[in-house]
Amino acid sequence: MKGLRLAGFGLVLAAGVACAAPEDDHLRLVNYFKHKHADVKVADYIYGAFAYDPDAREHYDGVMAFPPYAGALAEGERLWRTPFGNGRTYADCLPDGGRMIAGNYPMFDEARGRVVTFEMALNDCRVANGEAPYTYDDAATLGVLAAYARSLSDGMRMNVRVDGAAALQAYEDGKRTFYRRVGQLNYSCASCHVDGAGNRLGAELLSPVLGQATHWPVFRAGERLETLHDRYSSCFRRARHVPDAAGSTRYNNLEYFHSYLSNGMEMKASVYRK
């Protein structure tokens, strides 16, 4: 594998189309990856770095046949089905009973003037029914609940919308975070997941930004649940940059931009990653 090429397409996109419409950003990246890795189908990027490695993909398929984290998903289902104190459930306060909706998130809430993630929607449901919200970074509650609830949208196509000036402002803020170099190593998200996608950084094969938002949370090496915001923090730390807390405005806006780039791709939540 070639080493990381850190001065490529990501920098051009960030500098040259800062005011481009979101769909322009999306199409540029799709075309970039079609050219960069012509032997990989765009639809296969939902498998992350496994799209580049047939042997690793075969291992992934084997693990997914009998996932070792089935117990965590069962706990998430239990939380999902347990009635609130008023007798209602999550299915009663989410559109379509919570099925085939996760791909619409994150979404911009005009009334609140902010991005709302799927995890926030689950907590909003709790509060609306007289329950205390879960801590955003608690894997044992909101983590496993979201893991199960997202699985109810498996097969849905990502469908994140950016409508209106305020929503576009949040999207552009997330885009700036994605392309901004930070930390002592001077890396951006794009350094690894656009310019370096398909290359190795140490022992790790770098995944492409396309498809990344389709499969969270993931279970690392068995049963360790990792949310998308956990991953953002991990990447910042690797760049030797101070991370935010899960659920911060910066992370929510980054997730908004990041998720839009996977529009049209099939969702498969709660998957194995090494």
Beta bridge partners of 269: none
CATH of the domain at 97: 1.10.760.10
Q: Is 208 in contact with 53 (CB distance < 8 Å)?
A: no
In a domain, 2, yes or no: no
Mark whether 198 and 172 lie in a shared domain.
yes
Residue 19 has pLDDT above 80, yes or no: no
Q: What is the pLDDT of residue 111?
A: 97
Mark whether 194 and 260 lie in a shared domain.
yes
Tens digit of each residue's pLDDT (9 = 90 or more) over 31-56: 999 999 999 999 999 999 999 999 99
Mark whether 137 and 179 lie in a shared domain.
no
Residue 8 has pLDDT above 60, yes or no: no
Please give the Cα distance from 107 to 192 (Å, whole number): 26
Mean pLDDT of all residues belonging to the chain: 92
Mark whether 126 and 105 lie in a shared domain.
yes
Q: Is 195 in contact with 186 (CB distance < 8 Å)?
A: no
DSSP 53-98: -HHHHHHHHHHHHS-TTHHHHHHHHHHHHS--TTS--HHHHSGGGG
Please give the Cα distance from 29 to 31 (Å, whole number): 5
Mark whether 136 and 206 lie in a shared domain.
no
Domain-terminating residue out of 151, 178, 193: 151
Mark whether 169 and 37 lie in a shared domain.
yes
Q: What is the pLDDT of residue 246?
A: 96
Domain range spanning residue 26?
A: 9-66+165-273
> Which residues are part of the catalytic machinery?
235
Tens digit of each residue's pLDDT (9 = 90 or more) over 157-179: 999 999 999 999 999 999 999 99
| Percent of the chain clearing pLDDT 90 (strictly above) | 89
> Among 186, 168, 148, which residue's Cα sits nearest to residue 108?
168
Mark whether 130 and 147 lie in a shared domain.
yes
Q: What is the pLDDT of residue 1?
A: 37
Question: Total structural domains in the chain?
Answer: 2
Mark whether 185 and 239 lie in a shared domain.
yes
Q: Is 12 in contact with 177 (CB distance < 8 Å)?
A: no
Please give the Cα distance from 232 to 177 (Å, whole number): 11
Mark whether 46 and 170 lie in a shared domain.
yes
Which alpha helices (DSSP H) does 82-219 contain, by range?
Answer: 90-93, 118-128, 144-151, 165-179, 189-190
Burial string for 207-216 (b: 16+ CB within 10 Å, else e) reads: bbbbbbbbbb
Beta bridge partners of 153: none
Mark whether 248 and 169 lie in a shared domain.
yes
Domain-terminating residue out of 151, 180, 204: 151
In angstroms, the Cα distances linking 66 to 24, 40, 139, 165, 271 are 40, 26, 21, 46, 11
Q: Please compute the mean of the pLDDT values over residues 215-219 and round it to a whole number.
A: 96
Q: Please compute the mean of the pLDDT values over residues 10-18 and round it to a whole number.
A: 41
